Structure 1
């Protein structure tokens, strides 16, 4: 038949298998929280696809990943359960992406079948808000007027949605209040607002604690210390240490 004829037959066979697989294909979708233990049952593919679980081993059922990524799930050949094979960390897998999905292909032979499986990974509140620094240091002149604003860096959180940072609170103090506003991009603008004018002669430093909390159940929080150094302003006139009577007495004697 020749080499060309053999190649054509192989191509026809591959196309036939592909059509057969497509004709029996079906999509399955599951949803599980991240961080589930190894062996956790995602779902039963044999039941959902109406397959005979007793025939799975004979039909060489297997799971393939499209990009040869880590096989987070596997098939129990006795029961047809799709189970967690390795710990799934949504933050490691999808970073800050809102939608986090694992995609697999379920392959069976005799006859050939191909089924697509998608597993939506739900975020859990397993991370606390944190600040990029341990301490925020501010230098503010005592001449700053009441209502002056001083921006501080917002907190970060590896979780998303309601499990991300939702609120801020400032330790009660004599001088500052807190203002938090959301920007168009969803980020928060966090500012200290001067509520009482500073006086370096009375207090040279002000120590504060800022707390960021997420909206998880239960909520998690992170704190940062704020150190305010009060800079001197020329708000006092020179004075003599001696009184007027002593100065007059000194002039008389001279």
Structure 2
């Protein structure tokens, strides 16, 4: 009986020793990972096979051992952007890279690569910055925008115009707008941060419908390339008769908190505007402003009669945690007048993403005389949620 207890005790001690060994391995591994990291840069759209950098040389690795140690990039991507050659330790482009596809309009496009060697295990992180080139022109969603403006409007009244989109980022995105020369209107540009620059048409001279019933303008968007690329939209201004009161929103600031994953149909907020005119000129209808990003129309809806904004699509905190949406109130006059107000929606994070565990194993078995520090596996954990 005593012999059986001794055997059980020895087994327990061996299990404790294994647990201690794994802890030491992870500690050593984390130190190695943190101590080996380099960074390169490469332009988008370069040809397959373009050299990014000599990883082996920059890390001081013996390139004659790379093949035996199975030097490679660890990636879950079935069609990776880069590969490393085991013969020379050089990092190459695997296929043409479209920066706008990989990083959208992020100011900096960094691709993190995890490279490993076996026996003994070494992990080196390589960061590759994909540099933007000016390969897209600004474009407008439509070829023409029609505005109906009452002849009674005073100089200084502002009308938002459709803004252009350019998939390129940074200085190659839309940088400025120009308006064709005319006597009645001038152009202002409002910087909306990550939503881009918004052109605004400003009346600078009183309109006279009897003198000119319409005005034809050209709005040009230019990016920051040298030379810049550009795109145009025709602006048609129809001058209509008097409707002299615009709707007025009853609240100065609209701000609301909304849980992510809120069900479709959930009420976000209800806006309200009044118009002191009578008849159709005093009837208010609500809509999203023409400057609202079109992808937001897939997430939110607004009732034109009540001004109630509701959830239309999936609200994901991890994709975006704040929205600023321009709501427009218009009357039903022959020459509709409009007012706009921003609605700020702050998305509340919920714990809707489980941690993801990635295990890269490099040994099927471990000799019983393995020394402390022998690497067994690489374990990494990631959770897309924020905070706790």
TM-score of the alignment, normalized to the shorter chain, above 0.5: yes
* Alpha-carbon offset, residue 128 of structure 1: 1.8
Indicate whether 1:162 and 2:171 are aligned: yes
* Alpha-carbon offset, residue 44 of structure 1: 0.4
What TM-score do the two structures reach when normalised by structure 2? 0.53
> Which position in structure 2 is the counterpart of 1:58?
68
* Alpha-carbon offset, residue 57 of structure 1: 1.1
> Which position in structure 1 is the counterpart of 2:221?
212
> Which position in structure 2 is the counterpart of 1:98?
107
SS state at 2:100 partner: helix
Does the Cα contact within 8 Å between 1:21 and 1:113 map onto a contact in 2? no
Give CA-to-partner distance per residue, 1:150-194, whole Å, 9 cap, x none: 221322222222111111101112322212243577843422222
Moved more, 85-94 or 41-50: 85-94
In structure 2, the CA distance between the partners of 1:109 and 1:228, relative to structure 1 (3 Å rule), is same
Number of residue pairs aligned between Structure 1 and Structure 2: 232
> Which position in structure 2 is the counterpart of 1:194?
203
> Which position in structure 2 is the counterpart of 1:86?
95
Moved more, 179-188 or 163-172: 179-188
* Alpha-carbon offset, residue 9 of structure 1: 7.2
* Alpha-carbon offset, residue 11 of structure 1: 5.5
* Alpha-carbon offset, residue 92 of structure 1: 1.4
Give CA-to-partner distance per residue, 1:52-72, whole Å, 9 cap, x none: 22221111111013xx23421
* Alpha-carbon offset, residue 220 of structure 1: 1.4
In structure 2, the CA distance between the partners of 1:101 and 1:166, relative to structure 1 (3 Å rule), is same
Q: CA RMSD in A?
A: 2.9
Distance 2:120 2:154 in 1: 81
Distance 1:184 1:118 in 2: 27
Distance 2:30 2:239 in 1: 74
Larger radius of gyration: 1
Distance 1:80 1:217 in 2: 37
Give CA-to-partner distance per residue, 1:71-107, whole Å, 9 cap, x none: 2110112221101112222221222322321112111
Higher relative contact order (CA 8 A, sep 6+): 1
Indicate whether 1:42 and 2:52 are aligned: yes
Equivalent residue runs for 1:18-33 within 5 Å: 18=26, 19=28, 22-23=31-32, 26-33=36-43
Distance 1:127 1:62 in 2: 34
* Alpha-carbon offset, residue 129 of structure 1: 1.6
> Which position in structure 1 is the counterpart of 2:133?
124
SS state at 1:166 partner: strand
Distance 1:87 1:10 in 2: 46
> Which position in structure 2 is the counterpart of 1:237?
none
Distance 1:38 1:225 in 2: 41
Indicate whether 1:149 and 2:163 are aligned: no
Moved more, 163-172 or 27-36: 27-36
Runs of 5+ consecutive residues of structure 2 not aligned to the other structure: 1-6, 244-388
In structure 2, the CA distance between the partners of 1:232 and 1:21, relative to structure 1 (3 Å rule), is closer
SS state at 2:238 partner: strand
> Which position in structure 2 is the counterpart of 1:136?
145
Does the Cα contact within 8 Å between 1:22 and 1:114 map onto a contact in 2? no
> Which position in structure 2 is the counterpart of 1:246?
none
What TM-score do the two structures reach when normalised by structure 1? 0.78
> Which position in structure 2 is the counterpart of 1:77?
86
* Alpha-carbon offset, residue 213 of structure 1: 0.6
* Alpha-carbon offset, residue 7 of structure 1: 6.3
Distance 1:23 1:194 in 2: 64
